[in-house]
């Protein structure tokens, strides 16, 4: 495939976004939550774990723990027991408790609304902060790059970068800021429903004409 100019890539990206927007008009964060704190906790739990598994655990967890002080005060072994179905549950319980203690001590028990304040919390990296800012507060400060987003960004030829940080920077140069949050949802929906890692449904894909991998048969991981 001939080298694509930046202008052409931006134009193709816009068409990809249009196709995904039309295909998944109901795309949204699939972690169940009712408020910023629940989304923060669910996102911390979701590391190396499926949203489905997290939602099973948080169905009971969010009934027991309503506010940051609840997580901060509970004995650690009890919190670990409550989330033991989740991978890495011991470390995640420590992160959640330390995170909520800072929320109580420094933020009045509330989830902060800035990137700097969020990434200073235990268990919170840039991806988690982007999830919370975009979905809880409607702030497009960055682009969530999870496994699906990174994989599809490469498969669609939007970037060859392999780290979440570099992939995010590359996508920010192609996508209007107003679409940063939704881009992640659209790509995640597409990755889960159509463009799987091993068996992409290229014949039925709504954006196949815009995908270089479909044309050359090189299914980028």
Active site residues per annotation: 127, 146
- Comparing CA positions, the residue from 115, 102, 110 lying closest to residue 144 is 115
């Amino acid at each position: 495939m001939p080298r694509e100019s930046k202008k052409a890539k931006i134009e193709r990206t816009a068409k990809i976004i249009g196709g995904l927007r039309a295909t998944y008009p109901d795309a949204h964060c699939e972690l169940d939550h009712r408020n910023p704190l629940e989304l923060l906790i669910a996102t911390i739990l979701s590391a190396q774990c499926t949203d489905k598994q997290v939602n099973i655990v948080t169905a009971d967890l969010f009934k027991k723990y309503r506010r940051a002080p609840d997580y901060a005060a509970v004995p650690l072994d009890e919190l670990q027991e409550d989330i033991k179905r989740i991978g890495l549950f011991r470390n995640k319980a420590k992160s959640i408790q330390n995170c909520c203690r800072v929320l109580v001590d420094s933020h009045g028990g509330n989830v902060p609304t800035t990137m700097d304040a969020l990434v200073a919390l235990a268990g919170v990296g840039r991806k988690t902060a982007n999830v919370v800012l975009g979905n809880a507060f409607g702030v497009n400060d960055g682009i969530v790059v999870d496994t699906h987003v990174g994989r599809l960004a490469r498969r669609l030829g939007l970037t060859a970068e392999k780290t979440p940080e570099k992939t995010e920077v590359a996508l920010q140069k192609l996508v209007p800021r107003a679409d940063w949050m939704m881009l992640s949802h659209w790509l995640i929906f597409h990755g889960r429903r159509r463009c799987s890692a091993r068996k992409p449904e290229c014949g039925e894909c709504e954006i196949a004409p815009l995908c270089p991998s479909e044309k050359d048969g090189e299914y980028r991981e």
